[in-house]
Amino acid sequence: MAFSVAGLPAPSYHPPARRRVPFHPASSVTPLRSLTVLVVDDHPVMLRGLTSLLGDEPGIEVLAGVDNHTQALAAARRAHPEIAVVDFHMDGENGLELACRLGSLPLAPRVVVYSAFPGVTLVAGAMVAGAHAVIAKSALPHELIDAIHAARNGRRTLPAITRPELTTLIAGLPPRDQPLLGMFAHGIPAEQIARTLNLTEPELFDRRRGIVRALSDPSNATLRSLTGGALHYSHGHH
């Protein structure tokens, strides 16, 4: 019998039994979950082209391609896509107004807005609407795909707005909405803005839609002076 240093019997030692690890062939391993996307565009050629482009991309699953706001909201409620790729120029409400509506859903997709003529007013509107990216239609396919993956990970791909441009944008809004644009432009979360300004969720939603509409108003001479401009993409705050 073995003894310990203190003269007491040493405890018996039994090596642990080897656990059999089941073998799973490679074909049975569950693949990584695809990134799910909803595409919204009222131009048939663009809708088909984007749906095909993204559907052919490994790791992306296009759940639906629709051509109006009503179908977009219905598809988002039904299928719960992670990302909605939304055209800005559409009949009726524009893509930023749709982004506001999508963002109010219980399982809200992150929105990537694309436009033939993205300028600082559109970018500011995207910040207010809660969109994660603004992409030019002239961008290369990989730029759109990169922006989609960045949005999935909570990163924003938005063109830069200079301080003078932001000052002009704020001045072009009604006084009560000017603080809101400044807060959204500085990346303050909507929930914090609502608490700071003592707004309910429906009240904040209405104010956001109002700002988006004001920024899209072609009759606003102050804002119209800022339309156009080159895009300089950068990954911003969460």
Q: pTM of the prediction?
A: 0.79
Mean pLDDT for each consecutive 10-residue tract of the chain (238 residues)?
40 44 43 85 94 95 95 96 94 90 94 89 93 94 95 92 90 91 91 93 93 82 55 38
pLDDT, residue 226, reads 59
Which two structure tokens, joined as six digits, stand for 202?
């429906």
Q: What's the confidence (pLDDT) of residue 223?
A: 62
Q: Is 114 within the bounds of a domain?
A: yes
Is position 231 within any domain? no
Find the DSSP H helices in 61-200: 69-79, 95-103, 120-129, 141-152, 163-171, 178-185, 190-197
110: enclosing H helix or E strand: strand 110-115
Contacting residues for 53 by C-beta, under 8 A, at least 6 apart: 141, 144
12, two tokens: 């018996």
111 occurs within a structural domain: yes
- What amino acid occupies position 108? A
The closest alpha carbon to 126, from 116, 114, 134, belongs to 134
Taking the C-alpha atoms of residue 77 and residue 65, their distance in angstroms, rounded to an integer, is 14
Residue 3 DSSP label: B
Q: Does a structural domain hold residue 236?
A: no
The pLDDT value recorded for residue 88 is 92
Enter the tokens of residue 45: 């050629």
Q: What is the pLDDT of residue 224?
A: 60
Which residue's structure tokens are 């219980």?
A: 106
Split into its structural domains, the chain has a count of 1
Q: Is residue 80 part of a domain?
A: yes
Assigned domain for 232 exists: no
Domain assignment of residue 21, yes or no:
no
Residue 235 lies in a domain: no
Give residue 227's pLDDT.
52
> Domain of 40: which CATH number?
3.40.50.2300
Domain range for residue 216? 35-224
